[in-house]
Chains A and B, each alone.
Chain A
Amino acid sequence: MQDIITVSGLSKTYATGFTALKNVNLGIRRGEIFALLGPNGAGKTTLIGIVCGTVNPSAGTVTVDGHDNVTDFRAARSLIGLVPQELTTDAFESVWATVSFSRGLFGKPKNPAYIEKILKDLSLWDKKDNKIMTLSGGMKRRVLIAKALSHEPKILFLDEPTAGVDVELRKDMWQVVRDLRAAGVTIILTTHYIEEAEDMADRIGVISKGEIILVEEKKELMRKLGQKRLTLQLQERLSSLPAGLFGASQLSLSNDGDELTYTYDTQAERTGITRLLASLNEAGIRFRDLSTKQSSLEEIFVGLVHQDRNGGAK
């Protein structure tokens, strides 16, 4: 199926001379949840800004559902809802007024029933007549989401939507995101909470220093790049690792000496597990139980960015 967003050769150099994006190519699939991960200053907000029209690109093109986002910006933009990273809201307007304003701005006819539904989904209904400035930070974030959804977008950008947000809102928000996805809306989010990408995303892109380092199915990424840990629960405590064990560099002993952890790469030709177990047997170390655990996306991510920073392989 044709990608809903195609980013080609996109570069951005700010007036300061700083290059925030370097020849970025990216395709977003229709209906997916795409998580864009990257450290602060990687260029996530800049990339979203160019797609949505708030930042001018220095080079490259973006098409949204087949519409060039510069020459055919009306068609392109009317498909997109944007929840910005910063809490930028009006102050004196009511929640209802500001959300209705957004719908009008996108050229959609009035639909009070629809706005009522959004406000209810985001637990904003009882606040609808309140002035925005009287709301808490979390509530303002909800208002921004409601504004982005007010014009029934086919694509939703969420730029670090859960930064500094309470648990309650995160739950509500992810429920809304799941409902939207079920309704066929494509969602692109950036987040620092990698568990969320892990929970929510279908695919993950990693951006660092203005370059997309990798784009992968989440499952594939976890499988491919994941390290696994084998944890052995020992029958008798050890005070230190005996010398001469196999794979000593990959082994660590827990503080109280009753757990031995072996870290290995699932992609390696040989994991070394068999030899480790043989070696333990020889040393007379017996264990009660064992378990293996896939490393989290966070660990993968930190490893990747670290590699990139050191000029290592991509």
Chain B
Amino acid sequence: MNWRAIHAIYRFEMARTARTLMQSILAPVISTSLYFVVFGAAIGSRITTMEGVDYGSFIVPGLIMLTLLMQSVMNASFGIYFPKFTGTIYELLSAPISFIEIVIGYVGAAATKSIILGLIILATSWLFVPVRIAHPVWMISFLVLTAVTFSLLGFIIGIWADGFEKLQIVPLLIITPLTFLGGAFYSVNVLPPFWQVVTFVNPIVYLISGFRWSFYEVADVSVGISIGMTLAFLVACIVVVWWIFKTGYRLKN
């Protein structure tokens, strides 16, 4: 293992993050605040509690997940797409490093950034509503696991994308809708039976459910299933990344 190379990639990516720190932090903080104003004040005046939890507090885990998923996918996909786009990827390909090191460097940096943002969202939420964390260790575990998994997904998207549009499409057209439909703002139980079934095909339901359980001990599905599905998704991403690197898909001619 070439640890120095991993460190170099990680530092490089974190420096990129640091350069755009203000906008990376400001945008999610502002949108989170807006969610509290809109959902908490407007809708919350009609729905006071959900599953016995104050509505404003209920949506906190969903909001954190929303940021976490979006940021993980966007950071990681952009991180690897950019060298492909500019051609500087030649250096990664000609360096004495294996693809494992490239993945650890890029995915590690993307996950780090989205975890930091997730924690900032958590802190912001605290300003608006009471937040209780029943199982902090599980909360952090879900946070890290989700960040890593979706950074891997982002990495895959960044390699697959051959234009900036494709980079945008997946987060906007897939991640956001799935998160909204995945119970970020409501309990799946409030849906009609048919839509409940449809919802359980959505992998993000399991992430949000498990994450929310670590806060309030209320869940749409059992925690075991949440953890199992999250791990399964992680493994699926690892398999795809492994295949990409084995074949040099969209990396080497």
Q: Are A105 and B97 in contact (CB-based, < 8 A)?
A: yes
Q: Is A257 an interface residue (CB 8 A)?
A: no
- Interface residues of chain B: helix, strand, loop or mixed (majority): helix
Q: Are B86 and A90 in contact (CB-based, < 8 A)?
A: yes
- Could you mark each residue 75-106 of chain B with 1 if its beta carbon is under 8 Å from any beta carbon of chain A, else 0? 00000000000111011111111100000000
B252: contacting residue among A55, A80, A105, A107, CB under 8 A? A55
Q: State how many angstroms separate the Cβ of A251 from the closest Cβ of chain B.
A: 51
Q: Are A78 and B96 in contact (CB-based, < 8 A)?
A: yes
Q: Are B90 and A84 in contact (CB-based, < 8 A)?
A: yes
A108: contacting residue among B4, B19, B90, CB under 8 A? B4
Q: Are B94 and A101 in contact (CB-based, < 8 A)?
A: no
Q: Are A92 and B16 in contact (CB-based, < 8 A)?
A: yes
**Across the interface, which residues of B come within 8 angstroms of A76, CB to CB?**
96
Q: Are A14 and B253 in contact (CB-based, < 8 A)?
A: yes
- Could you mark each residue 80-122 of chain A with 1 if its beta carbon is under 8 Å from any beta carbon of chain B, else 0? 1010101011111100010011111111110000000000000
Alpha-carbon gap, A53 to B90, bound state (A): 9
Q: Are A106 and B252 in contact (CB-based, < 8 A)?
A: no
Q: Are B97 and A88 in contact (CB-based, < 8 A)?
A: no
Closest to B19 in A: A92
Q: Is A52 an interface residue (CB 8 A)?
A: yes
Number of interface residues of A (CB under 8 A): 36
**Across the interface, which residues of A come within 8 angstroms of B8, CB to CB?**
100-101, 103-105
Q: Are B2 and A90 in contact (CB-based, < 8 A)?
A: no
Q: Is B248 an interface residue (CB 8 A)?
A: yes
Q: State how many angstroms separate the Cβ of A84 from the closest Cβ of chain B.
A: 5
Known: A82-B94, A91-B86, A107-B5. A56 touches B16 (CB 8 A): no
Alpha-carbon gap, A89 to B86, bound state (A): 7
Alpha-carbon gap, A82 to B8, bound state (A): 18
B253: contacting residue among A55, A73, A78, CB under 8 A? A55
Alpha-carbon gap, A102 to B88, bound state (A): 11
Q: Is A15 an interface residue (CB 8 A)?
A: yes
Chain B contact residues, CB within 8 Å of chain A: 2, 4-5, 7-9, 11-12, 15-16, 19, 86-88, 90-98, 248, 252-253
- Listed A/B pairs (11) with beta-carbon separation below 8 Å: A54-B93, A74-B2, A76-B96, A77-B96, A80-B94, A88-B90, A90-B86, A93-B15, A97-B15, A105-B4, A105-B5
Q: Which 4 pairs between the two chains have the least Cβ-Cβ distance? A: A104-B8, A88-B87, A78-B96, A77-B96
Chain A contact residues, CB within 8 Å of chain B: 14-15, 49, 52-56, 73-78, 80, 82, 84, 86, 88-93, 97, 100-109, 147
